[in-house]
Homo-oligomer: A and B are copies of this chain.
């Protein structure tokens, strides 16, 4: 089945994945996790809400944490459009297309349009936030992994191609996509100039799987992990460090105190040009999916954050990924099979 085509004249101009709203049961614990380990800085906070940004970010927040007594969820993912005018174009477009969309008030954002995408994922658009100083050169004040900026979201959806088509109609391009037995089970969609703003993966959904923050170097990533170990979050490292397959970069996934997942990644490649055509990767179900490093544990495949009030839909078949648990059960370390090795 063919992947959808990008609409290169989209009805309005989404520029990038930009901000995220999560709920948390213990704000103090989450504050420690995100400021000390991930290295975000607090732009504003009150008793029930914390607004955080990466050390490089000029926008007021890329992560908002809201206190909850209920099960922790994802309230919405957020994207930037280029101008306030784009918000009006978006409202017009969604109204005409039958997509639920309405303006809402969000602190520190000028105007905010909330809509639900083809899978029901709540998404927030805004053009202008309050700004704060970029702090990336204030290195002596940085903590943990000193995360630079929000990069992308991964969302689990029951129909990857339908979800992708929704965004490709809005101008998103595909850098690469995952195929199992002729079935597209994942797409890497982008608006800004790297391969990821929105990763869609085939599972029951919509669910928020993780957000990705860019760090400057492996040493920063490791400093985040050392800090995690030192202050009591050592066991929150769920997966990694390792190197993704598909020519992607290094990764580490951590779970926050409420189980929400964050990926730390290195700066990505640049994809801008018209000749950056989508690359298809056939997934070998017996492969770890990595260049090196264990496959993800079962939790990585099975656990995700629900979106507030959005019903879960299961796909016809969920697949049977190679979990770390299965991998270890079948692994033999002696005499790597010849087929595995090629000459250097």
Contacts and interface: CB of A to CB of B under 8 A. Distances in A.
Interface of A: 8, 15-16, 25, 29, 32, 36, 56, 58-59, 80, 82-83, 127-129, 131, 134, 136-140, 143-144, 148-149, 192-193, 216-220, 222-223, 225-238, 241, 243, 247, 250, 255, 257-259, 266-267, 269-270, 272-276, 288, 290-294, 297-299, 303, 324-325, 328-329, 331, 333-336, 340-344
A274 B83 contact: yes
Contacts of A298: 328
Contacts of A223: 139-140
Contacts of A273: 15, 58-59, 80, 82
B274 A82 contact: yes
A293 to B, nearest CB: 7
A148 B249 CA distance: 13
B144 A140 contact: yes
A75 B325 CA distance: 34
B149 A290 contact: no
Given A56-B270, A219-B219, A229-B292, 9 more contacts: A140-B223, A192-B270, A216-B266, A216-B267, A233-B341, A259-B333, A324-B324, A324-B328, A325-B328
Contact of A139 (B80, B131, B227): B227
A36 B193 contact: no
Given A230-B291, A232-B340, A340-B235, A331 B193 contact: no
Contacts of A334: 255, 258-259, 303
A137 B247 contact: yes
22 contacts: A15-B273, A16-B272, A36-B344, A80-B273, A137-B247, A137-B291, A139-B227, A149-B269, A217-B218, A218-B219, A218-B222, A222-B243, A227-B344, A229-B243, A230-B291, A231-B341, A238-B333, A255-B333, A255-B334, A299-B333, A324-B324, A328-B328
A111 to B, nearest CB: 12
A92 to B, nearest CB: 19
Nearest to A25: B335
Q: Give the interface centre of A140, A231, A232, A247 by most chain B CB atoms within 10 Å.
A: A140
Nearest to A298: B328
Contacts of A328: 297-298, 324-325, 328
A83 B299 CA distance: 44
B269 A134 contact: yes
Contacts of A341: 29, 32, 231-233, 257
A274 B230 contact: no
Contact of A230 (B16, B138, B192): B138
Q: Give the interface centre of A32, A227, A234 by most chain B CB atoms within 10 Å.
A: A234
Contacts of A218: 217-219, 222
Contact of A299 (B247, B294, B331): B331
